Amino acid sequence: MQKIIPHLWFDKEAEEASEFYMSLFEGSKFKDKTILNNTPSGTVEMITVELSGQEFMLLSAGPYFKFTPAVSFLIACSSAEEVEMLWEKLIENGTALMPLDSYPFSEKYGWVMDKYGLSWQVMLVGDLGIKQKITPTLMFVGDQCGKAEEAIGFYTNVFKDSKVGDILRYSEDAAPDESGTIQHVEFTLNNQAFAAMDSAYEHGFTFNEAISFIVNCDTQEEIDYYWDTLSAFPEAEQCGWLKDKYGFSWQITPTIMNDIMKDKDAAKLAQVTEAFLKMKKFNIAELIKAYEK
């Protein structure tokens, strides 16, 4: 099971978006759909898909959060034709943040916000080899700018099987970015690839709950560890969600919930939903008790 899963919060477009994203990537497939009733957002729809073998969860739960480029998804492409194909589909009714062009770091690259507002970086990597097709990328802006290196050091200490790759730093003539801060770095958490960067420009956005990472946990001990280590704002703790000291959102979730949510017994789902809506940190024993009563 994938340890860390990107979670995308939509207003009501999760199903439509999941079909669109699956159409972009070979080897993609639908995994599961769950409807939860009587939540603070009313009826919500949870959809799990695999995109090129990587799991994503999409949620339709109301217009409460908007995607921002503070989190984007870097797509590694083996050919210029693939870059152009993906760009053409993603730019339709979307917005170019960096035009498709040749850059010092790639012969063909573009950064686009798609029709749902989700940001993608499409990059030709050629003969470098593609170990992971889609890499979640965190951009530290505003008050968090300059903290990318500290943050990835923190994250790689929290998760097992983690390491920091080569760091590309801003030079002295890169104003407004401060010399020595991170222009780009790839790192791994639990053998999954992520990337990070600082940006000192005035963006008018930062991290929010529209994009979070689910951490799948097998035991209560594991839930307690990630919760106690990552949570930095008690007021943000709710239904398994927390915010770390950099303002990024995580969901610390027991793997048993995957099985529970697949149960088509509406009464059992309602019992579990009622139970977890009262929780901040998930309690596996209480969830099982609610499911079995």
What's the confidence (pLDDT) of residue 200? 96
Question: Distances from the Cα of 241 to the Cαs of 29, 145, 235, in angstroms?
Answer: 27, 24, 11
Q: Is the dihedral of CA 177, 181, 187, 189 positive or negative?
A: negative
User: Among 22-26, 218-222, 223-227, 275-279, where is mean pLDDT lowest?
Assistant: 275-279
Query: Within 13 A of 272's CA, how many CA atoms are on the CB side?
Result: 25
What's the confidence (pLDDT) of residue 130? 84
Two tokens, residue 156: 């790689």
The pLDDT-based confidence of 21 (bands split at 50, 70, 90) is very high
Partners of residue 120 on adjacent β-strands: 73, 112
What's the confidence (pLDDT) of residue 111? 98
Quote the CA–CA distance of 221 and 31 in Å, as a whole number. Answer: 28
Instruction: Give residue-wise pLDDT tens across range 45-61.
Output: 999 999 999 999 999 99
Q: What is the mean pLDDT of residues 10-35?
A: 96
What's the confidence (pLDDT) of residue 60? 98
What's the confidence (pLDDT) of residue 63? 96
Two tokens, residue 269: 């789902």
- pTM: predicted TM-score of the whole model, two decimal places: 0.96
Q: Where are the domains of the chain?
A: 4-64+208-292, 71-198
Instruction: Give residue-wise pLDDT tens across range 207-223.
Output: 999 999 999 999 999 99
CATH classification (class only), 71-198: alpha beta
Q: What is the mean pLDDT of residues 14-28?
A: 97
Q: Helices marked H in the chain — which ranges?
A: 14-24, 80-91, 148-158, 220-230, 256-262, 266-277, 284-292
Residue 292 pLDDT greater than 90, yes or no: no
What's the confidence (pLDDT) of residue 261? 82
Residue 100 φ then ψ, to 5°: -65, 120
Instruction: Give residue-wise pLDDT tens across range 105-132.
Output: 999 999 999 999 999 999 999 777 788 9
User: In this structure, which amino acid lies at residue 267?
Assistant: A
How confident is the prediction for the chain on average, in pLDDT?
Answer: 95
Residue 68 pLDDT greater than 80, yes or no: yes
Residue 97 φ then ψ, to 5°: -95, -35
Instruction: Give residue-wise pLDDT tens across range 125-152.
Output: 977 778 899 999 999 999 999 999 999 9
User: CATH second-level architecture of 4-64+208-292?
Assistant: Roll (3.10)
Residue 230 pLDDT greater than 90, yes or no: yes
Instruction: Give residue-wise pLDDT tens across range 169-190.
Output: 999 999 999 999 999 999 999 9
What's the confidence (pLDDT) of residue 140? 98
Q: Could you identify the residue written with the tokens 């989190």?
A: 71
